[in-house]
Amino acid sequence: MHHAIEAEGLVKTYGKGARSVRALDGVGFSVPGGTVFGLLGPNGAGKSTTTKILTTLATPDSGTAVVAGLDVAAEPGRVRHAIGYVPQKPCFDPTATGRENLTLQGHVYGMARADIRSRGDQLLERFGLAEAAGRVTKTWSGGMQRKLDVALALMHRPRVLFLDEPTTGLDPEARADMWAEISGVTAADGVTVLLTTHYLEEADQLADRLVIIDRGRVVAEGTPEELKGGLHGDAVQVELADAGQQDAARRAVGSVPGVGEITVDGARLHARVGDGAATLPALLAALEGSGVPLAAVTVARPSLDDVYLRHAGRSFHSADRTEVAA
Ligand SMILES: Nc1ncnc2c1ncn2[C@@H]1O[C@H](COP(=O)(O)OP(=O)(O)OP(=O)(O)O)[C@@H](O)[C@H]1O
């Protein structure tokens, strides 16, 4: 199959000596053309660094990357023409109208005047921004502004579109709207989309395939269904009333037949069971028998959070908190 992106062995270290940070430690993956590919990981995992290398904004210490058939190190100029990039921070001019922003973008890419007009109209229409096109963009809603960022990145008809956390900061309604637009991009133009996100649900909804990145390494790769399907049975999560009881809780849960893959993360204990509903009474009895007070117990079908937990050894949300606290 033709691959729109091929990354291999990417290593990137920021800084020198004792204070250096190894942001990427051998990241590699292939993205089939015309698909949405997710880079999923908690804050600080290395998603933005990977995106910066693939969009020629950073150079790796080692490793190779080919985007739209072009080597990013050898042909950065041609790569930049073949891609569109929506960074985390907005990139439109807030003092200009939507139409003016698109026109300027067209000029930056050397497009012909008539093409700028028709492509601008097409994108404004597609993203539901036509009515607001004549208004200064600082008066637009957050969701509209984000859509404009995507429209700007698509203006010159790139073959690969990079979206760095496209829905961070949007309310649920605007996020759902943006998800629909992103799905539409691959369908309408055959554009390949590489999306970074730290929302598990977003990767699950949008990505045809994804890699989970943790601490600069790819820890899992596949379709969301494959990744979840690799986990058998149900996920049980026990919230302890007292985090000091984790050893007793682990022993009690471990004594119940059919319970495996027990991990404890602060006051949360995670385990896998073949049949959650059937095992729950024995599990609760074992915990009660050991005198471990509980705050809550939940049983759920496997999620990408469980996939992450299996491969990274900690829950996705606790990894996010660790990075924020660091
Ligand atoms: N310019 C820089 N100088 C020093 N360290 C950096 C720099 N950029 C990133 N890092 C570090 O490299 C690691 C990976 O960062 P990166 O921004 O790629 O992660 P991320 O997964 O995109 O996170 P986020 O979701 O917060 O954007 C982090 O530990 C970060 O602090």
- pLDDT tens for residues 16-38? 888 899 999 999 999 999 999 99
pLDDT band at 100; cut points 50, 70, 90:
very high
Asked if the domains at 3-227 and 232-301 fall in one CATH topology, the answer is no
How far is ligand 1, taken at its centre, from the CA of residue 194, in Å? 18
Q: What is the pLDDT of residue 207?
A: 94
- Output DSSP code: residue 62: E
pLDDT band at 321; cut points 50, 70, 90:
low
Greatest alpha-carbon span in the chain = 77
> pLDDT per residue over 188-227, tens digit each?
778 999 999 888 888 888 999 999 999 999 999 999 888 8
The Cα–Cα gap between 14 and 24 comes to: 10
- Output DSSP code: residue 238: E
The Cα–Cα gap between 8 and 206 comes to: 24
Instruction: Tell me, using a 6 A CB cutoff, whether residue 42 lines ligand 1.
Output: no
The continuous run of DSSP H or E covering 246 comes out as helix 246-254
Residue spans per domain, the chain: 3-227, 232-301
pLDDT higher at 201 or 53 = 53
**322: its two tokens:** 């660790």
pLDDT higher at 201 or 155 = 155
pLDDT band at 243; cut points 50, 70, 90:
confident
The Cα–Cα gap between 254 and 313 comes to: 17
228 close to 303: Cβ distance less than 8 angstroms: yes
Q: What is the pLDDT of residue 227?
A: 87
Instruction: Tell me, using a 6 A CB cutoff, whether residue 44 lines ligand 1.
Output: yes
Q: What is the pLDDT of residue 322?
A: 52
Instruction: Tell me, using a 6 A CB cutoff, whether residue 87 lines ligand 1.
Output: no
Considering the domain 3-227, what is its CATH architecture? Answer: 3-Layer(aba) Sandwich (3.40)
3-class SS of residue 68: coil
How far is ligand 1, taken at its centre, from the CA of residue 50, in Å? 10
The Cα–Cα gap between 146 and 91 comes to: 9
Q: What is the number of other CB atoms lying within 10 angstroms of the CB of residue 325?
A: 6
Calculate the average pLDDT of the chain.
90
Residue nearest to atom 16 of ligand 1 (CA): 46
Residue nearest to atom 6 of ligand 1 (CA): 14
Q: What is the pLDDT of residue 300?
A: 82
Residue nearest to atom 11 of ligand 1 (CA): 23
Q: What is the pLDDT of residue 319?
A: 66
Instruction: Tell me, using a 6 A CB cutoff, whether residue 212 lines ligand 1.
Output: no
Query: What is the CATH number assigned to the segment(s) 232-301?
Result: 3.30.70.980
Looking only at the bridges linking them, the beta strands covering 83-86 and 160-164 are parallel
Position 316: which residue type?
F
The Cα–Cα gap between 76 and 317 comes to: 36
Who contacts 318 (Cβ-Cβ below 8 Å, separation ≥6)?
A: 265, 266, 268
Among 39, 47, 53, 88, name the best residue to mutate to test ligand 1's pocket (greatest count of ligand atoms within 8 A of Cβ). Answer: 47
Which residue is it, tokens 């998603």?
47
Which backbone phi and psi does 117 adopt, to 5 degrees?
A: -65, -50
Q: What is the pLDDT of residue 198?
A: 82
How far is ligand 1, taken at its centre, from the CA of residue 295, in Å? 35
